[in-house]
Structure 1
Amino acid sequence: MNLPAIESILKNQIKPPEPMGSYDPSDVIFLLKDLSNISLEKETGERERAIQSGVHYSEMLPVEYHPSDEYIELFHETLAQSAQKVARAAATVAEIIVRKRGLNTVLVSLARAGTPIGILVKRYISMKYNVDMPHYSISIIRGKGIDENAILYIWQQHGLDMPIQFIDGWTGKGAIRKVLVDACDSLDQRYGIRLDDNLAVLADPGHCSDTYGTREDYLIPSACLNSTVSGLMSRTVLRDDLIGPNDFHGAKWYKEWASSDLSTMYVDKISEYFTKVETEASLQAEDALAHPPEVTWQGMKDIQSIQQTFDIQDVNLIKPGIGETTRVLLRRVPWKILIDRPNNPNLKHIMLLAHDRGVPVEVFPGLSYSCCGIIRSVKGGGE
């Protein structure tokens, strides 16, 4: 360990976070600066032009999508159909974490898609092992890195030797996993403390993690919605004029959406199935440890094939997997959607959103994902 650096960690105390979000604090603590009173939203077209002109996506927010009644109905229908499946995947991830890290571990989910998954992992471990693991949600941003002040705060609260397990919702190209690897390398160089860059995810269709519940690219219901299934939190924001050197990265808390909030209902519904999936999850975790899955980054190979087929210069305009395609349709300017087959039952909400927005859908056989969203190019660059 780098002793002078360690002394600075312990000496420069990071201020505790303000309470944020609609989850109970016993489920998660957001290590984020409250920017709720600042206007950060840009209309979709304006934001797209800015991003592709070089403005970093973390410097502004998309306007939150107001889902139609039909779309909300589809969310509830999907949740009813897949709650047990999601519970099994979350329980499997939890069992693998316990076996790899032990019960004295800090859960750190990546805001915001990772937050409900982190809550499910925490709740399962509490139910099964009667241990209340601390759980924080922090910011990580492609091109800018992880929120180092959040990591320092966690070290100050829990010591330097307590393992940290990072958690996210799903993998696409694996870009965030790569940011996490670089961030852990940077922290190691600066402080002499090596964090495990393993990223636990509910679904790993990109084949870039070895801690996952499934590699099937299916519809995780929380991918259907934005803040109203993520504790009413926005995406995270990092802008020099808003975030000081001792601040956490920022986010907005959309309290005005409280009447539409489904965040706690979502995790409550899935948690009801934990006792039913416990045995299967334990067996799946044991098998994963006995026969470690290969990390092949197959998803990136798919992306390269799409790049060549459609002559797309910027890989960041290609967003693979159901979760990322949903994001393209909700907050970007889509060019087209590629699907693996027309009768894929996981694609109902994708087809509905594409129809609503007038986005063409094409079959692209051989995808390791169920679908892929392609952003319309303005003039290079991407999120």
Structure 2
Amino acid sequence: MFSSYRAEDVTILLKDITGCIDPLPTAERERLIQSGHHYSEMLPLEYEPTEKYLEAYADALARYAGITAQATARLAEQIYAEKGADAALVSLARAGTPIGILLKHYIRQRFGADVAHYTISIIRGRGIDANAMDYILARHAPAAVQFVDGWTGKGAIQRTLVEAAAPYAGLSAGLAVLSDPAYVAEKCGTHDDFLIASSCLNATVSGLLSRTVLRADLIGPADFHGAAFYEELRGKDLTYDFIDSVERLFPPAAYPIEEAAAHTSGLTEVERIAADFGIADINLVKPGIGEATRVLLRRLPWKLLVHSTTDEERLGHLYQLAEEKGVEVAAYPLRNYLACGLIRTLADN
């Protein structure tokens, strides 16, 4: 286990590439991505949170742990009703992994079942880790597999998953997430765009693992996709602080949400935002609290769009990051989301 996750909580189907790849500064990485290099071939420098930002994270966790616990319970009830004790949770690294652990713990607490849980890599534009899928399907029936992630942005990973699952007979590409403001997931805890506190940090709330890497000189034909382990951050690890804080607030039972009769898709809203701001590539538009947080943490942000510039309770950590990085915060009539990050187009500089 090259992570700070407990062995009984998750089987990590990733190759350890610690020390094999030098993280790149944000500006250099952004330049490479926008010039055609794939993001999975490089790693960003991990954001070292300031004391003020860690205070914002702690405040966010205190405010939203209960809502996160309720969403976890609603989602777990749906998964168990369909899959039962034979369920194999397959969380998408890295944001899905702590959510998969929460689901596993709720199912054990509520139903007394110890369901399997794996974490694997899926990469937009490159697909799912086929070797990891072969490993899982050698041990579980395709119908038992439930893919898990934290939230949906504009649905890019769900679309990647649909393509990736097609070759596997009997395998559902349906995604289970806590928050689905894009209205693309098969199962969700809520469609509200709420703050899942784990989105506020990178490796330090994700088992000290990097995001996943797929590069020919590091990952051979028989290898799993790779990830690095940040041992040097162990003293700052908040992974189980997040998991335990949510788990303490699990309800005894929960029921599925009522689906909205009509809604606008997340992709439709993203296309509207792109048109309004003259953005040709919708990959530079990152909707939702989780995605906006990622933009501020590891991309070159241009603007932060928010439904309100005074919503400290729900968006305080984003205001803090934007202030630290000198990013404009602008009110915009968002519908599905509370926030949206816009990435700077380097070709315009």
TM range (shorter): over 0.9
* d(CA) in 1 for partners of 2:151, 2:283: 17
* d(CA) in 1 for partners of 2:142, 2:283: 36
| CA apart distance, 1:78 | 1.3
Q: Any gaps of 5 or more consecutive residues in structure 1?
A: 1-18
Instruction: Map residues 205-354 of structure 1 onto 2, 5 A cutoff.
Output: 205-274=181-250, 277-279=251-253, 281=254, 284-285=255-256, 288=257, 298-344=265-311, 345-354=313-322
Q: Relative to 1, partners in 2 of residues 1:335 and 1:147: Cα closer, same or farther, differing over 3 Å?
A: same
Contact 1:210 1:292 in 2 (8 A): no
**Aligned AA for 2:317?**
H
Corresponding residue SS for 1:165: strand
Contact 2:3 2:207 in 1 (8 A): yes
Corresponding residue SS for 1:352: helix
1:143-192 per-position Cα deviation (integer Å, ceiling 9, x unaligned): 0000010010112233x35510000000000000000000011x23xxxx
Q: TM-score, normalised to structure 2's length?
A: 0.96
Corresponding residue SS for 2:67: helix
* d(CA) in 2 for partners of 1:265, 1:350: 21
Contact 2:289 2:339 in 1 (8 A): yes
| CA apart distance, 1:301 | 1.0
1:187-215 per-position Cα deviation (integer Å, ceiling 9, x unaligned): 23xxxx22111100010011111311111
Among 58, 70, 78, the residue aligned to 1:96: 78
**Aligned AA for 2:148?**
I
Corresponding residue SS for 2:252: helix
Q: Relative to 1, partners in 2 of residues 1:139 and 1:295: Cα closer, same or farther, differing over 3 Å?
A: farther
Which sits farther off after the overlay, 260-269 or 53-62? 260-269
1:250-290 per-position Cα deviation (integer Å, ceiling 9, x unaligned): 0001111100001012111111111xx233x1xx22xx4xx
Does residue 1:370 correspond to 2:344, yes or no? no
Which sits farther off after the overlay, 344-353 or 108-117? 344-353
Partner of 1:151 in structure 2?
133
* d(CA) in 1 for partners of 2:3, 2:192: 30
Larger Cα Rg: Structure 1 or Structure 2?
1
Instruction: Map residues 118-197 of structure 1 onto 2, 5 A cutoff.
Output: 118-158=100-140, 160-161=141-142, 163-185=144-166, 187-188=167-168, 193-197=169-173
Q: TM-score, normalised to structure 1's length?
A: 0.88
Across the aligned residues of Structure 1 and Structure 2, the Cα RMSD in angstroms comes to: 1.5
* d(CA) in 1 for partners of 2:215, 2:170: 28
Identity of aligned residues (%): 48
* d(CA) in 1 for partners of 2:243, 2:213: 25
Partner of 1:76 in structure 2?
58
1:296-323 per-position Cα deviation (integer Å, ceiling 9, x unaligned): 6611111111111111110100000010
Does residue 1:204 correspond to 2:180, yes or no? yes
* d(CA) in 2 for partners of 1:146, 1:293: 31
Q: Relative to 1, partners in 2 of residues 1:23 and 1:294: Cα closer, same or farther, differing over 3 Å?
A: farther
* d(CA) in 2 for partners of 1:93, 1:154: 22
* d(CA) in 2 for partners of 1:173, 1:305: 12
| CA apart distance, 1:366 | 3.7
1:45-88 per-position Cα deviation (integer Å, ceiling 9, x unaligned): 00000000000000001100000011111111111121111111
Contact 1:104 1:162 in 2 (8 A): no
* d(CA) in 2 for partners of 1:218, 1:162: 30
**Aligned AA for 1:38?**
C
Q: Relative to 1, partners in 2 of residues 1:342 and 1:161: Cα closer, same or farther, differing over 3 Å?
A: closer
**Aligned AA for 1:145?**
G
Q: Relative to 1, partners in 2 of residues 1:297 and 1:150: Cα closer, same or farther, differing over 3 Å?
A: farther
* d(CA) in 1 for partners of 2:264, 2:345: 25
Partner of 1:105 in structure 2?
87
Contact 2:122 2:129 in 1 (8 A): yes
Contact 1:208 1:295 in 2 (8 A): no
**Aligned AA for 2:130?**
E
Partner of 2:30 in structure 1?
48
Contact 2:142 2:172 in 1 (8 A): no
Q: Any gaps of 5 or more consecutive residues in structure 2?
A: none
Corresponding residue SS for 1:217: coil
| CA apart distance, 1:342 | 2.2
| CA apart distance, 1:40 | 3.1
